[in-house]
Amino acid sequence: MGGIEFLKGHGTQNDFVLLPDPAGRLELTEARVAALCDRRRGLGADGVLRVVRAAALDEPSAGEWFMDYRNADGSIAEMCGNGVRVFARYLVDAGLAAEGEFVVGTRAGDRPVVVHPDRSVTVHMGPATITGTSVTVVAGRPFSGVAVDVGNPHLVSLLDDDVADLDLRDQPDFDHDVFPHGVNLEFVNRLGEGALRMRVHERGVGETRACGTGTVAAVAAAFHLAGTDTGASTVDVPGGRVEVTVSRGASTLSGPAEIVARGELDEAWWAAAGS
Ligand SMILES: N[C@@H](CCC[C@H](N)C(=O)O)C(=O)O
């Protein structure tokens, strides 16, 4: 049949279509990504992870493999914390990397990962940098937040009210002067010392059941508001739980990564989806 190979995977139910494309030959248009991610006319996913050799692209990396990440609407983003865990899981399962530590290239820079025998993955996420404050508006209600750069942009609002009660079906408003390229919006409750609960509205996707970079931003913002830049926390999201550490200039994200299925895309569908 000669179709295009794909896999489906998720990390805490943030789900992805993986497209192995070592030589970077696939013509991955915005329209094709949006069609693949559509839950009715495509496979359905929050994003696409193209698995490509770093040398096949212009992106510099010390690692062999580059994660070419796209949001469900076809837009390109710098980094995806759940995606990089699933990407690393795939490389090991496919025999393209050995279990243990290796480097994955991303648009936000190289990300060292550790693939553990229990199928979980730890990612060294780089600095989580506090860049200021801003406001988001959800269903007419304003929430102030802490802006955090984790390679991609986030605005984290810590709430006293239960985040479960928020209506995140529509795109919340945000300040386009502060975030000219859009922003991921996290809404967070403190559950106790070293424990947060979070919901997220992702740039280019909508509400998702988890966002890895968002959990790192949430922990960095929570510690920042508590007057420190160092600590560890669990973050409960609708899709499960991850563990995050932050310190000056560094952060880590640990959590599950699963490959669910593999198959071939129909070539006629792929051709039609490109137009
Ligand atoms: N789900 C991701 C983040 C994906 C990118 C984000 N939507 C953006 O546009 O920055 C994660 O797990 O970090």
Q: Which domains does the chain have, with CATH numbers?
A: 4-124+257-273 (3.10.310.10), 129-248 (3.10.310.10)
pLDDT value at position 1?
45
Q: What is the pLDDT of residues 168-204, one digit of tens each?
A: 999 999 999 999 999 999 999 999 999 999 999 999 9
Return the ∠ at Cα 203 (arms to 106 and 189), rounded to 5°.
100
What separation in Å is there between the alpha carbon of 138 and the centre of ligand 1? 20
What gap in Å lies between CA 99 and CA 96, rounded to an integer? 10
- Is 106 annotated among the ligand-binding residues? no
Share above pLDDT 90 across residues of the chain, in percent, rounded to a whole number:
96
Tell me the whole-structure pTM to 2 decimals: 0.97
What gap in Å lies between CA 184 and CA 134, rounded to an integer? 13
* pLDDT < 70 stretches in the chain: 1-2
Return the structure tokens found at 145.
């937040």
82 lines ligand 1 (CB under 6 A): yes
What separation in Å is there between the alpha carbon of 197 and the centre of ligand 1? 18
Judge contact between 197 and 242, C-beta under 8 A.
Answer: no
- Is 81 annotated among the ligand-binding residues? yes
Secondary structure of the chain in HEC code, one letter for each residue:
CCCEEEEEEEECCEEEEEEECCCCCCCCCHHHHHHHHCCCCCCCCCEEEEEEEHHHCCCCCCCCEEEEEEECCCCECCCCHHHHHHHHHHHHHCCCCCCEEEEEEECCEEEEEEECCCCEEEEECCCCEEEEEEEEEECCEEEEEEEEECCCEEEEEECCCCHHHCCCCCCCEECCCCCCCCCEEEEEEEEECCEEEEEEEECCCEEECCCHHHHHHHHHHHHHHCCCCCEEEEEEECCEEEEEEEECCEEEEEEECEEEEEEEECHHHHHHHCC
Determine the residue of 179, 184, 203, 237 to mutate for testing ligand 1's pocket, defined as the one with the most ligand atoms within 8 A of the Cβ atom. 184
136 lines ligand 1 (CB under 6 A): no
Residue positions annotated with a catalytic role? 80, 211
Judge contact between 22 and 53, C-beta under 8 A.
Answer: yes
80 lines ligand 1 (CB under 6 A): yes
Q: What is the pLDDT of residues 34-77, one digit of tens each?
A: 999 999 999 999 999 999 999 999 888 899 999 999 999 999 99
199 lines ligand 1 (CB under 6 A): no
For ligand 1, atom 1, name the residue with the nearest CA. 211
